[in-house]
Structure 1
Amino acid sequence: MGKTYTIRSNRLTAIWDPDGARLRSLSLDGGPNMVLDVDDAVSGRLRDAYAGTIVGPLANRVRGGTVPLNGATYQMPCNEDGITALHSGPHGLDRATWTVAAQDRSALHFTHQLPDGYGGLPGHRDIDLWCDVMNDTLTLRITLTTDAPTPVSIAHHPYWRVTPDHLLQINAAHYLTTDDTNLPTGQIAPVADTPFDHRMPRAIDTATDHNFCIATARRDRPHAVAMLITRDHILHIASTEPGLQAYSGAFLPDIPATNVAPLAGIALEPQGWPDAVNNPEFPSVICTPDHPYSQTTEYKVQSAT
């Protein structure tokens, strides 16, 4: 493990790694790590599953990696058999070494720059990530400014440790159906009478890797998005983002002698709706010089005991 940075409140301790602006550990009152993590010297396979990183600048899947914008088409590098660009392909923010701009006891400020054309997308982009802990809440604030219109949907990608008796609530009445490549079909479907109805707490279905439609536009302040209940802790997620990608972790690697295995953790990623650049009816993810990108996501943690 390389150099890490620790921030603390009176209750929370968070450990960050500049490699991918990666959350390596989050613990409450000195308890166990609530996110899956493995030292890369043991195995890099969890790292390759985006564990704890910031993903983007265009999170989730983009069909063919193609981005139509203002009469032009931009090509992102694909990293799923040439079919999709997942989390902006092989050179996304998760693979960047972020700069630590400032740190104090309870807060950490990362920065990163993307030059015009990097990752196949237009605009010189300046990204700031502020992480702070206060009492029982970890807050992430992410901003991006650009000198040209460009698509932006950034997400934080931790895998939250779960127990077999976990319960997940998601404040969404609709979700996006997907095809056999896990891309949205364009249909916005009711969750009612499906395995994806989490309006009341229930265990996540192992086939879940879907966007839940939280809102039709980014909000000015965080709203309650999801609640995860495990044997050890209760996690409340609030965000400004209009979507939540929930992934059961069914294809997580099995790493012996660690707590990492399929279904050992689930990803809950506030973000824009996936492949919005190719679905005009989805909430827009286009950022312009006059309308910078800004996201706030809050993780409030309680002990379950």
Structure 2
Amino acid sequence: MKIIDKVVGNYDGKSVIEYSLTNDSGMNVSCLNYGCVITKIIVPDRQGNFENVVLGFEEFDDYPDLSPYFGAVVGRVAGRINGARFELDGKEYQLAENESPNHLHGGRKGFNSVVWKVEKIEKEDAVGLQFFYHSPDGEEGYPGNLDTCVTYLLNNKNELVITYEGKTDHKTLVNLTNHSYFNLSGNLKRDITEHILQLESDRFLELGEDLIPTGKMIGTKNTPFDFQNGRRIMAGVNSEHPQNLLAGNGYDHPFVFTKKGENQVVLSDEESGRTLMVTTDQPCVVVYTSNQLEGPFSIYGVRARKYLGVCLETQGLPDAIHHPEFPSVILNPDDVYCSTTTYRFFANTLGD
């Protein structure tokens, strides 16, 4: 187990450092102190070939200007907040309208675009990093001083365990996630339309024209949104379902887990043999199939295009503050925000 670090740039007068975590079997996770961005995850395929399975950039300077949240921790609140405003205890708060007229992923300068303090973790069977950020009262319009700690821990089971913790001095909103785009083909050899997704959900949130939940939950049975027994992502790309069309021919939807407690999401690529098993204590996962991923830039040498990656954003339900029937994302001063998501990678041999 080892950690290597190097300076890769500068942002807001602070050094940007890339940390490379490697376990005893050769799995590697690289990440930045800027936005806690995961730049690479390198794991073997069924032939033992080690390749990168997430989207990112070769150069740090591309992240502030071009990144659609590649690999970042987003917050204070992941997803969209309708009208960029909310009410707490009779007081209305106006947030940054960075996707006018709405608020997206924490605002113009969310957690994804600040430099975090870092402490290394070195154990016998795991290496990792603890990231710390103090979000001052009023930042992006949110009330309360919020102290956040995010931990990335890589162990010898080829698991990356991400833990989020937050403490506030005033009632506020917190809903954190990691926004990595996964592509298990390795080094972006193919898009993700043939990937098979399986998840424990029989309902998803209906989206309005602005991609914000309407509050209505739709059953997945007999629709392209039923992943309980596994199905290819292509099903949503080719679908005529109004919700698939609304999202840009694919998925950008919160799937509500069937049961409370620990739930699993499994993503697999038959050709490479790679499988990613995501285990979380969060109530939902937002599945985004990069339907809007287009632009005049390249991702590790591959031109940006739709369906190059799939995000599996484990989190609370988006826009929960406007839907009292959703699990609350309000954090009180006497409480601690805490959630854990584990990403386990393995490769199936032929015939498995």
Q: Same fold (TM over 0.5)?
A: yes
State the identity %: 28
Give secondary structure in 1 for the equivalent of 2:29: strand
CA distance in 2, matches of 1:122, 1:304: 48
Please show how residues 203-242 of structure 1 align to structure 2 within 5 Å.
203-204=232-233, 205-206=236-237, 207-214=250-257, 219=261, 223-230=262-269, 231-232=271-272, 233-242=274-283
Matched, 1:246 2:284: no
Q: What is the RMSD of the two structures over their aligned residues, measured on CA atoms?
A: 1.9
State the TM-score, normalized to the length of structure 1.
0.92
Give the one of 308, 322, 331 matched to 1:287. Answer: 331
Equivalent AA in structure 1 for residue 265 of structure 2: A
* Matching residue of 1:108: 129
Mean alpha-carbon deviation: is it higher for 89-98 or for 259-268?
Answer: 259-268
CA contact (8 A) 2:196 2:268 kept: yes
Computing the radius of gyration from Cα coordinates, the structure with the larger value is 2
Correspondence 1:6 to 2:20:
yes
In the alignment, structure 2 segments of 5+ residues that lack a partner are: 1-7, 10-16, 185-191, 238-249
TM-score (norm 2): 0.81
Change (3 A) 1:68 1:225: farther
**Farther-moved stretch of structure 1 (54-63 vs 190-199):** 190-199
Tell me, in whole angstroms, the C-alpha distance in 1 between the residues paired with 2:35 and 2:121.
17
> d(CA) in 1 for partners of 2:64 and 2:232?
25
Distance 1:107 1:296 in 2: 15
Please tell me whether the aligned partners of residues 200 and 258 of structure 2 are also in contact (alpha carbons under 8 angstroms).
no
- 1:191 is aligned to 220
Structure 1 residues 63, 47: closer, same or farther in 2, change over 3 A? same
Task: State which drifts further: 208-217 or 84-93.
Answer: 208-217
Offset, 1:281: 0.7
Letter in 2 for 1:196: F
Matched, 1:25 2:40: yes
Residue deviations 1:154-189, cap 9 Å, x none?
010000015442100111110000011100011011
From the superposition, tell whether residues 27 and 59 of structure 1 become closer, same or farther in structure 2 (CA, over 3 Å). Answer: same
Aligned residues: 300
1:181 aligned to 192, 210, 216, which one?
A: 210
Displacement, 1:41? 6.2
Offset of residue 240 of structure 1: 1.0
Distance in 1, matches of 2:334 and 2:60, equals 44
Asked if structure 2 preserves the Cα contact closer than 8 Å seen for 1:38 and 1:258, the reply is no
CA displacement at 1:292 relative to structure 2: 1.0
